[in-house]
Amino acid sequence: MEDRPTPLRVDIRSTDRSVVVLEAVGGIDAFSASTLRLPFRGLLEAGNRHFVIDFGRVELLDGVVGIRAVARVWLAIKARGGTLALAGPSSVREAVLAAGLQHTLTVHDTVDEAIRAHVEP
């Protein structure tokens, strides 16, 4: 029997720079991709516009499904005039490249770098 990754959990952390950081913990696959998208509706309705998703504690990233979920989130954020940056290991950057979204989704090595990208011109 194949081991499944830890179920995905998304923790929300606000910063003092008007950027909401969401930390994904566990695995992102076909069963959990919707969990990644869920928090954004309420955050956008509350007026938040700038986001970072931290993939540092993601155990499994199904590239196609995971990045497709992120792309849907990005479209909703963009429609409201917002921004989205990703932070995480090289596997996240590779998944974005494989999906052909490197000009749409920016991937930073750390959350701090991703936040600075939002607040610095």
- Residue-wise pLDDT for 14-67, tens only, equals 776 789 999 999 988 888 888 988 999 999 999 999 999 999 999 888 877 888
Q: Outline where DSSP puts E strands in the chain.
A: 9-14, 20-28, 50-61, 83-87, 106-108
Task: Give the closest residue to 105 by CA, choosing from 113, 116, 96, 95.
Answer: 96
Q: Indicate the class that CATH gives domain 9-84+93-119.
A: alpha beta
Query: Edge to edge, what strands does the sheet with 50-61 contain?
Result: 9-14, 20-28, 50-61, 83-87, 106-108
Residue 3 pLDDT: 67
- Residue-wise pLDDT for 77-109, tens only, equals 999 999 999 999 998 899 888 888 888 899 999
- As given in the structure block, the two tokens for residue 1 are 């029997």
- As given in the structure block, the two tokens for residue 79 are 């429609």
Residue 28 pLDDT: 87
Q: Answer whether residue 118 shows pLDDT above 80.
A: no
Residue 64 pLDDT: 78
Residue 1 pLDDT: 46
Q: Tokens 């950027």 identify what position?
A: 19
Residue 7 pLDDT: 87
- As given in the structure block, the two tokens for residue 100 are 């052909």
Domain boundaries, the chain: 9-84+93-119
